[in-house]
Amino acid sequence: MSAEPLTVAGGARVEAARRRTFAVISHPDAGKSTLTEALALHARVIGRAGAVHGKAGRRGTVSDWMDLEKARGISITSAALQFEYRDAVINLLDTPGHADFSEDTYRVLTAVDAAVMLIDAAKGLETQTMKLFAVCRHRGIPVITVVNKWDRPGKDALELMDEVSERTGLTPTPLTWPVGIAGDFRGVLDRTDGTYRRFTRTAGGATIAPEEGLPAGAAEAREGEEWTRAVEESDLLAATGAAHDQELFLDGVTTPVLFASAVSNFGVGALLDTLVDLAPPPAPRPAADGAARDLDAPFSAFVFKVQSGMDAAHRDRLAYIRICSGVFERGMVVTHGRTGRPFATKYAQQVFGRERESVDLAYPGDVVGLVNASALGVGDTLYADVPVTYPPLTTFAPEHFAVVRSRETAKHKQFRRGIEQLDSEGVVQVLRSDRRGDQAPVLAVVGPMQFEVATHRMEHEFGAPVHLEPLGYSLAMRTDAESVAGITASSGTEVVQRSNGEFLALFTTKWVMRVLRENKPHLTLEPLVAAQL
């Protein structure tokens, strides 16, 4: 980073005020990764966009770097990018949209101060979109809405605003309004000053789309009825009170709206400016005891993601931390809250998708990658001087289970190392029992596509091909050692252990679980906490 160390009182707070840490979230295929790359392009931290997957002659996006992501054309893991724009430091987190990877998305949402919600102009509010809106509301995360793909045929703009209002409860307050119907995107009316931003296409959308600013009179002369329609619709919005109010936005009552085409780089610059101008900077973060840790308090952070396989040459493991307070200095020795042991931060890196470089200083709101941090797990707290513990991250209740075995017995060490790595990252939950042994652990996941990711990584990253045997269980309940014998005596059940020693009772159906509970009420059967996603 370019900033020099600040030793005066309030230094961390001053630097935090420059930070904008947000996630890009949406239903699958709404264009998150394309938008992420377009934002980096407009900030001029990359020269050309990789843009759309599977399009001839186009590279993969910066944020989608895993082989499986490139092959499937979807994001299956979150990615962090940090860059500067204007006088702000942007920490952008791209997230997987598919519901099978919702646990990863949820963890990212614990580490951000705002969210950019992408809506497909043709499809409107889809299932995952609604769930993500609900999570943001639950966590008090203000949302900026972007109607994407306006260069393609889609719904009416006013119809989309009604849909946002009726289905989310948020009042949309458009900052820009499209000139031209969906599929005929000419530019936008800037509702803050009434001017016209006219867009010009570039070859394949690989470079920044030139924008021309025109006053209202010139816009009317150029665009005719399309400009008149846009002005009339904007006036209608104004009559209904759809004007931006910063306090209502931060309180989660309204959502600013912009229209864009990420693949053509239309409207992306306006989004960057909106993030800098309107998105909130980091604020004091509540600890597990409810007390807020001041930004100027000694350093503290929590781990929200662990990822390996980013560097094929080194097979390293990266723990992503969100800094909550104080100044981070590379090499400082901090305390690992869960173990109470010292943790050295010599290998700290600033992340830009798959690419990384050493970072010497970081401040509240920043995302830093700690390399080879094998002692760190998702949800762990790090702190200096004054102890603090941040709330643990929710573990989702798994719904799909399969036994995993190595295809090659000679690769037992690689198999064991890979399984342990996937478990520590939270890619899957690894469950073991005396009945099955260490050679045949049970993998438990929220969605079946996680199995595909696990098997792909076991073969290509750890060199240990595996095969899965699906199990007929669909429900997991927390239990204890005293209840194991009583549970396993019933048909349609099995008891396994998580890596932390916690016992889980698996059931083929809810009916089997209810019958057991009725017949043996003394057994411990507690529901697993599932996040609202």
Backbone phi and psi for residue 419, each to the nearest 5 degrees, phi listed first: -60, -45
Cα 243 to Cα 254: distance, rounded to the nearest angstrom = 9
Q: Binning pLDDT at 50, 70 and 90, where does residue 232 land?
A: very high
Question: Residue 463 pairs with which residues in a beta bridge?
Answer: none
Nearby residues of 203 by Cβ (< 8 Å), 6 or more positions away: none
pLDDT > 90 in the chain, percent:
59
Instruction: Tell me the per-residue pLDDT of 1-18, one tens digit each, with 9 for 90 and over.
Output: 444 444 444 689 999 999
Instruction: Give the number of other Cβ atoms within 10 Å of residue 408's Cβ.
Output: 12
Q: Strand 292-293 to strand 328-329: parallel, antiparallel, or no bridges (unpaired)?
A: unpaired
Cα 488 to Cα 509: distance, rounded to the nearest angstrom = 15
Assess whether pLDDT exceeds 80 at residue 136. Answer: yes
Q: What is the DSSP string of 493-516?
A: EEEEE-TTS-EEEEES-HHHHHHH
61 touches 50 (CB < 8 A): yes
User: Helix and strand tally (H, E) in the chain?
Assistant: 14, 31
Does 508 belong to an annotated binding site? no
Q: Binning pLDDT at 50, 70 and 90, where does residue 133 land?
A: confident
319 touches 373 (CB < 8 A): yes
Kindly provide the residue ranges of all beta strands, DSSP E only, lying in 36-99, ordered along the sequence.
79-85, 88-94
Q: Binning pLDDT at 50, 70 and 90, where does residue 354 land?
A: low
Does 172 belong to an annotated binding site? no
Confidence (pLDDT) at 433? 86
**What one-character DSSP code corresponds to residue 299?**
P
Mean pLDDT for 391-398 is 80
Terminal alpha carbon distance of the chain = 35
Candidate from 68-82, 165-179, 271-285, 338-352 with smallest mean pLDDT: 68-82
Does 472 belong to an annotated binding site? no
Confidence (pLDDT) at 86? 92
Candidate from 151-165, 277-291, 391-405 with smallest mean pLDDT: 391-405
Q: Strand 400-406 to strand 333-336: parallel, antiparallel, or no bridges (unpaired)?
A: unpaired
Does 277 belong to an annotated binding site? no
Listed residue (126, 116, 124) closest to 161, CA to CA: 124
Candidate from 16-30, 281-295, 311-325 with smallest mean pLDDT: 311-325
Confidence (pLDDT) at 318? 84
Confidence (pLDDT) at 48? 55
Mean pLDDT for 181-201 is 95
Assess whether pLDDT exceeds 50 at residue 63. Answer: no
- In sequence order, which ranges of 67-209 are alpha helices (DSSP H)? 67-72, 102-109, 127-139, 157-168
Assess whether pLDDT exceeds 70 at residue 66. Answer: no
Report CA dihedral (34, 39, 43, 47) to the nearest 10 degrees. Answer: 10
Sheet holding 176-179, edge to edge: 176-179, 187-190, 195-199, 211-214
Handedness of CA 79, 82, 83, 84 (dihedral sign): positive
Distance of CA 404 to the CA centre of its chain: 28
Confidence (pLDDT) at 101? 57
Q: Binning pLDDT at 50, 70 and 90, where does residue 420 land?
A: confident
Does 314 belong to an annotated binding site? no
Mean pLDDT for 33-60 is 60
More confident residue, 524 or 55: 524
Q: Binning pLDDT at 50, 70 and 90, where does residue 51 land?
A: very low
Give the chain's domains with CATH numbers.
19-278 (3.40.50.300), 285-383 (3.40.50.300), 400-527 (3.30.70.3280)
Half-sphere exposure of 315 toward its Cβ, with a 13 Å CA cutoff?
10
Instruction: Tell me the per-residue pLDDT of 146-175, one tens digit each, with 9 for 90 and over.
Output: 999 999 999 999 999 999 999 999 999 999
Half-sphere exposure of 227 toward its Cβ, with a 13 Å CA cutoff?
17
Mean pLDDT for 418-431 is 84
